[in-house]
Copies of this chain bind each other. A is one copy, B any other.
């Protein structure tokens, strides 16, 4: 249940409502955390019951606008978060990368098909890299930790892209060799 702490931590940066929390995590923490609405709204309700956050219902303005629920962290919440910060991390990372899983079994299919899917992946990560590089600048003057995380995001993305290009070349080499052997 560390989603609880993800939310608590974000609220210590600034007050937010559910929708913003998701957008913020996706934009800035996408390389280390995934989240979805199905967790956010129930978690916020629970955090409120535990007295770790406060909720302020914001009435729609005169010209309409959606109803919002602005959440802020309570002193009790701040205490809970800093307790968690000192606990050893334990447990390992949870990863599920559908592309790499498929990659592991490309040997059972056609190389040409593999190349198509690799290209898809390259395209996706190229656009993501641009976004992260822009984002990184925004975090540059913030605290050390946030800056370092943004750096990691960019470095990771670059490394992964390099690997994808390398993989593409290797697969092409492999296809040529296979054709030669058949001839």
Q: What is the interface of chain A, defined by CB distance below 8 A to chain B? A: 2, 5-6, 9, 12, 29-34, 78, 81-82, 84-86, 88-110, 113-114, 117, 120-121, 143-146, 148-149, 151-152, 155-156, 159, 163, 166-167, 170-171, 174
Contact = CB atoms under 8 A, between A and B. Distances in A.
Query: Could you tell me the dominant secondary structure of chain A's interface residues?
Result: helix
A144 B170 contact: yes
B95 A145 contact: no
Contacts of A109: 82, 85-86
Most B-side CB within 10 Å, residue of A34, A104, A156, A174: A104
The quantity of this chain's copies bound in the complex is: 2
Contacts of A5: 101-102, 105
Given A108-B82, A145-B103, A148-B170, A95 B93 contact: yes
A148 B149 CA distance: 27
A109 B176 CA distance: 56
A84 B102 contact: yes
